[in-house]
Amino acid sequence: MSDLSNMIAANADWFYLVGAILFVLTLRGLSSPKTAIRGNRLGMVAMAIAVVTTFFLAEGPVLWLIIGAMVLGAIVGMWKAKTVAMTQMPETVALMHSFVGLAAVAIALATVLHTEQQHGAVARVELFIGCFIGAITFSASVFAFGKLAAKSWAKTLVGSWVKPVQAALFIAMIAFGGVYFVTDSLPAFYAMAVIAVIFGWMWIAPIGGGDMPVVVSLLNSFSGWAAAGIGFTLGNSMLIIAGSLVGSSGAILSYIMCKAMNRSLLNVLFGGMGTSAVAAGGDDGAPKNYKAGSAEDAGFLMANASSVVIVPGYGMAQGRAQNAVKELYELLKEEGVNVRFAIHPVAGRMPGHMNVLLAEADVPYDDILEMDEINSDFASTDVVLVIGANDVVNPSAKDDPTSPIFGMPILEVTKAQTVMVIKRSMSTGYAGLDNSLFYMDKTMMIFGDAKKMVEEMVRSINGAGH
């Protein structure tokens, strides 16, 4: 056993290099639904290599405590993975980010309290950065979890006092961090950590629901940078590499999502959109007329169309309708209808939410198209079926300069001949904005649970003898 330990310790850099390469290949695999499973498996192997190698490098580890914690975490993680509903996936992801941030803070505090070790200037900078990014990630992710899970304690903060308080907290956090750097003062470090936790909460709390997908993506990036910062503190190259990969990929994804909304990251984080339920600009509050229809009407129209585009939104996730949608898709395909799915980059409540749902239902990847790929096809589309989406198909983004989402690229479903929208009611979407699409002559509203309505469409098509 000692020979094995010596061999692994002597070649730790090589093992870490293999793990790093596997992590890079993991991200490459996760970039496509077709290779996502393989990418996930490579990531598991890479993490196993990193953990085992680190065990043999540690000086006098308390094995029973470490292994016990790992086993307990694995049990909870596997249970949660098997039981979490797809509608709860966004808040689950946010909660996992909070644990990464908390771990970074715990490691930083343990390192600071290690009185036998002297911390030089560089080490103090590393501890400061790792701790405050981890603390912000922790509290911000907890709030994002509460917001996405519609918890009563996750209340959106509004008012002119919010930004001055945010600025004061940020300045105080940096100031105490500076004091710690200069004097190596433990009270200053503790104060910095506490203020960072409060700042994380105050920073995310004013952001509206419409921007939560970007927030989740950014917190994913923050969790990576927190891990990388602590990797420097511990002198662990594997943690630095893995954290940097997560941090950079999360930052790139955040940029892509902001570009999809035609907004800057700073505007999302400090401007806010959808912080209250307001009507789109130009709305005088007068009653509006809309045309309602039935699932049978929708089934008839789609069965007799030559081309159908399905636009999934959070309503599909909420109703757990993805399998029913897959059945509708297959039935229409059998009837010779050209059926495809249109995905907006910020549809749902986390990055890739709709892609995950459709992949779970085994919808063929070739028929799942991104916004830029399918927007030009709507003009030649007979029927568009929108399932629980609101903001990503809202024409106000293109034709109402007073709308909060003006300039945001949308799925241009209004160009199709007929649009059908499944919604529970005429209530506004997650960003709190009304949608003029619902009142157009070409639009038919279908009210009810997404899964139930789609199943009725399937029965209607089957019952009509198609």
Q: Convert the pLDDT of each residue in 317-361 to its tens digit.
A: 888 899 999 999 999 999 999 999 999 988 877 778 888 889 888
295-462: which CATH number, 3.40.50.720, 3.30.390.10, 3.40.50.1220, 3.40.1690.10? 3.40.50.1220
- Are 166 and 202 a contacting pair, CB within 8 Å? yes
**Looking at residues 61-76, what average pLDDT do you find?**
87
Summarised one tens digit per residue, pLDDT across range 175-187 is 999 999 998 889 9
Measured in degrees and rounded to the nearest 5, phi and psi for residue 333 equal -60, -40
**Looking at residues 144-167, what average pLDDT do you find?**
87
The DSSP-derived string for 308-333 is EEEEE-HHHHHTT-HHHHHHHHHHHH
Identity of the amino acid at 450: A
What per-residue confidence (pLDDT) applies to 115? 60
Q: How far is 370 from 373, CA to CA, in rounded Å?
A: 5
Q: How many CB atoms lie within 10 A of CB 193?
A: 22
Contacts of 105 (CB under 8 A, 6+ apart): 131, 134, 135, 138, 193
Summarised one tens digit per residue, pLDDT across range 406-447 is 888 899 999 999 999 999 888 776 666 789 999 999 999 999
* Domain ranges within the chain, ordered by starting residue: 1-61, 92-270, 295-462
Summarised one tens digit per residue, pLDDT across range 299-312 is 999 999 999 999 99
Q: What is the pTM of this model?
A: 0.76
236: alpha, beta or left, given left = phi > 0 and alpha = psi -120 to 50?
beta
**Residue 139 to residues 76, 132, 349, 433: CA-CA distances in angstroms?**
21, 11, 19, 28
**How does residue 466 score in pLDDT terms, banded at 50, 70 and 90?**
low
Q: How far is 456 from 217, CA to CA, in rounded Å?
A: 36
Q: How far is 410 from 421, CA to CA, in rounded Å?
A: 16
Q: How far is 265 from 391, CA to CA, in rounded Å?
A: 19
Q: How far is 432 from 151, CA to CA, in rounded Å?
A: 17
- Are 385 and 309 a contacting pair, CB within 8 Å? yes
**How does residue 282 score in pLDDT terms, banded at 50, 70 and 90?**
very low
For CA atoms 91, 92, 96, 102, the dihedral sign is: positive
Torsion of CA 218, 349, 150, 141, to 10 degrees: -20
Contacts of 461 (CB under 8 A, 6+ apart): 299, 300, 302, 303, 328, 331, 332, 335
**Looking at residues 21-36, what average pLDDT do you find?**
86
Secondary structure of 282-303 as H, E, C letters: CCCCCCCCCCECCHHHHHHHHH
DSSP state of 362: T
- Are 436 and 394 a contacting pair, CB within 8 Å? yes
CA nearest 135: which of 219, 249, 251? 219
Tokens of 16: 């870490």
- Are 346 and 213 a contacting pair, CB within 8 Å? yes
Summarised one tens digit per residue, pLDDT across range 100-128 is 899 989 988 988 887 666 678 888 888 88
DSSP state of 132: H
Tokens of 12: 């730790």
DSSP state of 436: G
Tokens of 206: 């004013």
Q: Whole-number mean pLDDT of the chain?
A: 86
Identity of the amino acid at 274: G
- Are 431 and 390 a contacting pair, CB within 8 Å? yes
Tokens of 176: 């105490």
- 268 pLDDT more than 90: no
CA nearest 455: which of 320, 346, 339, 342? 320
Contacts of 85 (CB under 8 A, 6+ apart): 320
**How does residue 365 score in pLDDT terms, banded at 50, 70 and 90?**
confident
> CA angle 338-344-348, nearest 5°?
115
What per-residue confidence (pLDDT) applies to 278? 42
Would you name the residues annotated as active-site residues?
391
